[in-house]
Amino acid sequence: MAAEAKFLAFDLGAESGRGVVGGFDGERLRLEDVHRFPNGPIRLLDTLYWDALRLFSEMKRALGMAVSTHGKDLAAIGVDTWGVDFGLLGHGDVLLGNPRHYRDPGNEGMMEAAFRTVPRDRLFDVTGIQFLQFNTLFQLLALKERRSPLLERAETLLMMPDLFTFWFTGQKATEFSIATTTQCYDPRQRAWATDLLRQLDLPTHIFTDIVPTATPIGTLRPDIAEEAGCGPIPVVAPAEHDTGSAVVAVPASTPDYAYISSGTWSLMGIESPEPQIDARTRSANFTNEGGACGTIRLLKNIMGLWLVQECRRAWARQGNDYSYADLTERAAQAPPFAALIEPDDPAFLLPADMPAEIRRFCARTRQPEPDGVGGTVRCCLESLTLKYRWVLERLEEIRGKRIETIHIVGGGTQNHLLCQLTADATGRAVVAGPVEATAIGNVLMQAMGRGHIGSLEQAREIVRASFDLVSYTPSPDRAAWDAAYDHYLRIRTQIGLND
C-alpha cells in the first residue's frame, strides 16, 4: 500500500467553514476535521456582507493546526466556497470593502433592469444560467446602478475561493466551475461573455484568466508559510464551487442517475458533456454550470434546508432551541400533506420570521396553517421533495429517458426522513451519502492536480470504496403521493410560477 498523501481542503458554506485533512493511500480516502468555524452575514446599515478577513484568519489558523497535527509535508491545499459572490481589488491589490452577501436586498430589481437592455431570452441564450437575483451579473449591475466607487476603482474581480487562493499564493486566476456561476460566462465559447458585459456597460478588464479544475495555482506565500510553520505547499484549484466539488463525490457507477447536493440549498441535476441551452431549459429556469474535468452540471437551484434552518432560528429566538434531530422526529410524527408550499417562493429568500412566512403563504393559497413545530417542518420537507419530483420530470424530458436512481450527497443525507420522503415523492431509488461530499470532492481534485488520480471515474471508485452509503426504497403507496403532487402543481399555478 502506498504511503498516505495528505491534502488540506478548505470548505466554506453559508453557515460554517472548516479545514479538513484528507489522507489518500492510493485506494481509499479518509477525512479528519482540523478546525471548524462559523460563517454568516454581517448586517451593516442596509447591506449584508461577508466578513472575509475573519474567514481568512480562521483558514490560516486551520492551516497551522493541520501542519502541527499532520506535518509539514501536506501534498496540497484547495479552497471551495458557495457561488456568485466576489471581492473587488483596487490599485496595489487592496480589497475594496467587504464582499457583499448574495442575500443582500440591494440586488432586488436588478434582473428587471438587465432585461430592459438585454432581453431575458437573449441573456439565457448567452449564459445558460438560471435567473436568480443574486447572480454575480446582477450584483455588478447593482453596483453600477448605485454608481458605486468600488466598481469604478476596481482593477480585479475575484470570486470568493479565488480571493482566498490569491491571499494564500499571490496568484490571480478564476477556476472554471466558480466562473460558470456568475452569469458573466458563455459556456458554449468557454470564455467570459464580454460582449454581453459591454452591452450592460459593465467592465470587462476586471475578470481574470479562467483555469481548468485541478489546476495548480501556486505555492503558499513565504509569510503565510512562516506563520503556519511549513514550507511552500502547493495550492491547487479544486472544483471551487462547493456544488461542483460535491458532485465529484457522487458515488455513481452508471450514467442513469440524478444528484441532489443537499444542504442550505438543494442543487438537483445531471451531468452533461455540453451545455443544454434551449427553450426547455430556459422555460424550466435550469442552469448550466461547470463541473470537474470540463463537464457541465445541468441543474436547478432549490431553496433547500434553509427553510428548516430559518424555522429553527426563529424558534430559538423565542426560547425554544430545538435540535435538528428533535425537529425531524416531530416532523415524522406529524400528519402528512396537511399543507404545502413552493420552496422557491421569493418570500422565503430572506424572511424575518420563516414560520410566520410559511403561515402567510398557506393563507394566501387557501390552505390550513401547519400544525405546530412538527407540522411546519413536515410541510417544508414534503414540499421540498415534491419540488424534487417536478425537477426530475423536467430532467427526464431534457435527457429523453428515465432516470432510475437519485444520489443525495452532503449534509442533508443525515436527515433520514428527508431521504425517505424523496424516494416516496419521486418513486425512485435513493442512495444517500457521503455526508462530507464537498470536502471529499475538493480533496480528490487536489489529488488529480498532483497526479495521484487520473480520471473522474477513478475518483468515484475511491468514494464507493471509502464511505458508507444508505439506500431508500420508495413507498408502494403511489396514490397518496400522486394526489399530493397534483396539489403542489395547483399551488404553483395559484402563485403564477412560470419556471
Give the CA angle between residues 288, 381, 346 to the nearest 5°. 55
Q: What CA–CA distance (Å, rounded) separates 170 from 263?
A: 32
**How far apart are the two ends of the chain, measured CA to CA in Å?**
51
Beta carbons of 21 and 30 less than 8 angstroms apart: no
Cα Rg of the chain (Å, integer)? 22
Beta carbons of 71 and 6 less than 8 angstroms apart: yes
Residue (of 399, 389, 122) closest to 282 by Cα position: 122
3-class secondary structure, 257: strand
Buried residues in 469-489 as b, exposed as e (16+ CB within 10 A) = eeebebeeeeeebeebbeebe
> Does residue 46 have an active-site annotation?
no
Of 80, 162, 242, 424, which residue is the catalytic one?
242
Q: What CA–CA distance (Å, rounded) separates 190 from 187?
A: 5
Q: Which DSSP helix (H) or strand (E) runs through 3?
A: none
3-class secondary structure, 70: helix
- Residue 159, Cβ density class (10 Å: 0-12 exposed, 13-18 middle, ≥19 buried): buried
- Residue 43, Cβ density class (10 Å: 0-12 exposed, 13-18 middle, ≥19 buried): exposed
Instruction: Supply the residues annotated as catalytic.
Output: 242
